[in-house]
Chains A and B, each alone.
Chain A
Amino acid sequence: MTGSALYLYFKHEKAKLIEKRKEELENKSAGKPQVGGPFELIDHNGRVVTDKNFLGQFLLVYFGFTHCPDICPEELDKMSEVTENINSDTKLGKIMTPIFISCDPHRDTYEVVREYLKDFHKDMVGLTGTYEQIAIVAKSYRVYFSRPPKVNPGDEYLVDHSIFFYLMDPNGQFVDAYGKSTTADSVTDSVKGHIKNFIDKGGVIKKLDG
């Protein structure tokens, strides 16, 4: 091959590589699941809140129900421990809020949720609402939940629901999801890594007082 042909050949190959890289990046952002979204719910003090109220903080969001036999309390304990690890880290401060969202609005009034939260981290927020409001937020978090179809008043029942908790960043963007097999320590490490990334990229966190 002559010099100019080689030059053209390499230029062509380089262009192909750049095209491929662009495609990969596009697929990467298309591949990240759209988790989270706007919501309007009632907090455990009976106040109406929206997703905007939580911007500025890192959030750990868990969907459960207060009549849950053991998985929910275990996951909420884990979230409490992770929150304490982060918020008591002097280099970070109070930058994390754990949130419990009920997928059993029929029984979980805000008073019931408030009572339930007393067993967990003092900064944990509980959210509930009407069935429609809960359906909207559960759908945006891609959380499946269902209760038995025919329930009479006074009946006992359990709610079937997916059991991850979600890390959301101060801009309300989904970062990561953690399952039942994770430990508080492994989640803490992972969250700290994400926080560092966020800060390195120039992200702004709103630290809360005391």
Chain B
Amino acid sequence: MTKSETLAGKPPLREQRETCWKLRDEYFSCLETLSVFDPAKVDTDELIKALVKKSECWKKKSAYENACMTSWVDYFNKRRTLEIRQRQIADAKKRSDGESESK
């Protein structure tokens, strides 16, 4: 269930935005504890969905999706996947740099 565009094209104001961001961050952190790095997969991948449903992340998913506009949820989810991938690449590089230095 997502919160779609508010009445008459009115965008969320500061308080609503900040609530959305807070719940988003809580949900993403929770997913990370399950090693789920692609929030979109929670809807598309049956195994991942089952995993998340059994955990406390499922409630956080609803809270996040209710607090944020649908277009924002899609955007944040995509960006999250990108951020994690970039972080993984940076970590891998650090490790390989470390190895080549100690040789």
Of the listed stretches A11-19, A37-45, A64-72, chain B binds: A64-72
A112 to B76, CA, bound (A): 23
Q: Could you tell me the distance between the alpha carbons of A116 and B16 in the complex, rounded to whole angstroms?
A: 12
The interface residues of chain A lying within 8 Å CB-to-CB of B75 are 69, 158
Q: In the bound complex, how far is the Cα of B72 from the Cα of A70, in angstroms?
A: 9
The reply to whether A157 and B13 contact each other, CB–CB distance below 8 Å, is no
Cβ contacts under 8 Å, B76 to chain A: 69
Q: How many residues of B contact A (CB 8 A)?
A: 15
Known: A112-B9, A115-B13, A116-B13. A67 touches B21 (CB 8 A): no
Q: Are B17 and A156 touching (Cβ within 8 A)? A: no
**B11 lies within 8 A of A112 (CB):** yes
Chain A residues within an 8 Å CB radius of B14:
73, 119
Interface string of A92-136 (1 = CB under 8 A from B): 000000000000000101001001101100000000000000000
Task: Tell me if B's interface is mostly helix, strand, loop or mixed.
Answer: helix
A-side contacts of B43, CB under 8 Å = none
Are A157 and B11 CB-contacts (below 8 A) given A69-B76, A70-B17, A73-B17? no
Residue of B nearest to A116 (CB): B11
Contacts of A156 in B (CB 8 A): 4-5, 69-71
Please state if B13 and A119 are interface contacts (CB–CB under 8 Å).
Answer: yes
- Classify chain A: how many residues form its interface, as a range: 10 to 19
Query: In the docked arrangement, what's the CA distance between A184 and B71, Å?
Result: 29
* Given known contacts A67-B11, A112-B10, A158 and B71 CB-to-CB distance under 8 angstroms: yes
Interface string of A150-173 (1 = CB under 8 A from B): 000011111000000000000000
Is there an interface contact between B5 and A154, defined as CB atoms closer than 8 Å? yes
Q: Does the CB pair B11–A66 fall under 8 Å?
A: yes
B17 engages A67 (CB within 8 Å): no
Cα-based distance from A69 to B9 in the complex (angstroms):
15
Q: Interface digits, B57-88 against A, CB 8 Å rule (1 contact, 0 not)?
A: 00000000000011110011000000000000
Chain A residue with minimal CB distance to B20? A69
CA distance A66 to B11 in the complex (A): 6
Q: Contact string, A45-64, partner B, CB cutoff 8 A, digits 1/0?
A: 00000000000000000000
7 contacts between A and B (CB under 8 A): A109-B9, A112-B11, A115-B10, A116-B13, A118-B13, A156-B69, A157-B71
Task: Pick the 3 closest A-B CB pairs, nearest first.
Answer: A156-B71, A66-B11, A119-B14
